[in-house]
Amino acid sequence: MTILERILEVKRLEVKQLLMEERDVSCGTLSKRPSLFETLKHSNLLEVISEMKRASPSKGMIAGQVDPVTQATTYERAGAACISVLTDKQFFKGSFDDLAAVSKAVQIPLLCKDFIIHEVQIDRAMEAGASVILLIVAALDEGTLQRLHTYATGNGLEVLVEVHDAKELSQALSIDAKLIGVNNRDLRTFEVDLSRTEEISRLFPFNEDHVFISESGIMNGKDAKRVATVGASAVLVGESLMRSASVEDSLHSLQVPKGGVLQ
Ligand SMILES: O=P(O)(O)OC[C@@H](O)[C@@H](O)c1c[nH]c2ccccc12
């Protein structure tokens, strides 16, 4: 069984649990945040989506003692375009409480990072103040991907659709995804390879309606430049910022000029 399959098994149980809990749906008011899509489209720099990531299945504990609010406000002050908060408990040691706490402390777009397979998780993300959710193409069949995308956008959320290969990119495009991220990490093997971003960039429809994001394994300005060169508008960065002794310097070193031919 791959790690992704194991995670999805746990998610199915979590969803059952969430569906049994009674909630006051009226608290699901959408927080007013700028649009991530618009922010990325209009910037001349490679923007940074900075992630609050305590631990991961591939790296174990990364920063167990870090306070999510302190980390997120540091990201915001340093000029991040968006904060990503991992809400998965079992594999990433995050929570919806982390997301809710961060939500109260920052004004920029806020991404709920989880393995979403059901609408009830989207409701929780909204309740906790997220303005963006992640949908992972590899985790969903086509019908569910479409349904969850429609549900989220219908509720005023933005959706980052994560792909890993050409087939997944065409699935993302077929549901009209606007924010498309290439995960450089293979969720089945944990292998990280930035050439994934380069490969997908050759197939990516760079135009008004799409932005291209490179996710995972971005460690420094050199990596940032590499993905900016092939048209990335943003990088999604967790580990290297979580481990950095100077978050501000590290984040600034990633904000290189956009370099794509069509930008
Ligand atoms: O820590 P990194 O290598 O900078 O990666 C961040 C982010 O891309 C990664 O956490 C991620 C990308 N897609 C995901 C899906 C689920 C969980 C985690 C992720």
Per-residue pLDDT of 107-133, as tens digits, reads 999 999 999 999 999 999 999 999 999
Q: How many domains does the chain have?
A: 1
Q: Are strands 47-52 and 179-183 parallel, antiparallel or unpaired?
A: unpaired
Average confidence score pLDDT of the chain: 95
- Give me the domain span that covers residue 131: 35-254
Segment 67-87 shows an average pLDDT of: 98
Q: For residue 23, tell me if it sits in a domain.
A: no
pLDDT value of position 259: 86
Q: For residue 144, tell me if it sits in a domain.
A: yes
Residue 207 annotated as catalytic: no
pLDDT digits (tens, 9 = 90+) for 134-191: 999 999 999 999 999 999 999 999 999 999 999 999 999 999 999 999 999 998 889 9
Q: For residue 25, tell me if it sits in a domain.
A: no
- Backbone φ and ψ for 257, nearest 5 degrees, come out as -60, 145
Q: For residue 22, tell me if it sits in a domain.
A: no
The SS3 call for residue 109 is: coil
pLDDT digits (tens, 9 = 90+) for 5-58: 999 999 999 999 999 997 766 555 566 899 999 999 999 999 999 999 999 999
pLDDT value of position 262: 44
CATH code of the domain in which 185 resides: 3.20.20.70
pLDDT tier for residue 263 given thresholds of 50, 70 and 90: very low
237 and 205 Cβ atoms separated by less than 8 Å: no
Ligand 1, atom 16: closest residue by C-alpha:
114
Q: For residue 14, tell me if it sits in a domain.
A: no
Tell me how far the alpha carbon of residue 203 lies from the centroid of ligand 1, in angstroms.
Answer: 22
Q: For residue 15, tell me if it sits in a domain.
A: no
Q: Cα–Cα distance between 12 and 99 in angstroms, integer?
A: 21
Q: Cα–Cα distance between 218 and 184 in angstroms, integer?
A: 9
pLDDT value of position 188: 85
Pocket test for ligand 1, best of 59, 93, 215, 218 (most atoms within 8 A of CB): 215
Q: Are strands 47-52 and 110-113 parallel, antiparallel or unpaired?
A: unpaired
Q: For residue 138, tell me if it sits in a domain.
A: yes
Residue 216 annotated as catalytic: yes
DSSP tag of 53: -
The SS3 call for residue 133 is: strand
Q: For residue 54, tell me if it sits in a domain.
A: yes
Tell me how far the alpha carbon of residue 26 lies from the centroid of ligand 1, in angstroms.
Answer: 31
User: Which residue among the candidates 47, 51, 76, 239 is catalytic per the annotation?
Assistant: 51
Q: Which residues line ligand 1 (CB under 6 A)?
A: 51, 53, 113, 136, 162, 183, 215-218, 236-240
pLDDT value of position 169: 98
Q: Cα–Cα distance between 111 and 114 in angstroms, integer?
A: 9
Please report the atom of ligand 1 found closest to the CA of residue 218: 4
The SS3 call for residue 112 is: strand
Burial class (CB in 10 A: 0-12, 13-18, 19+), 153: middle
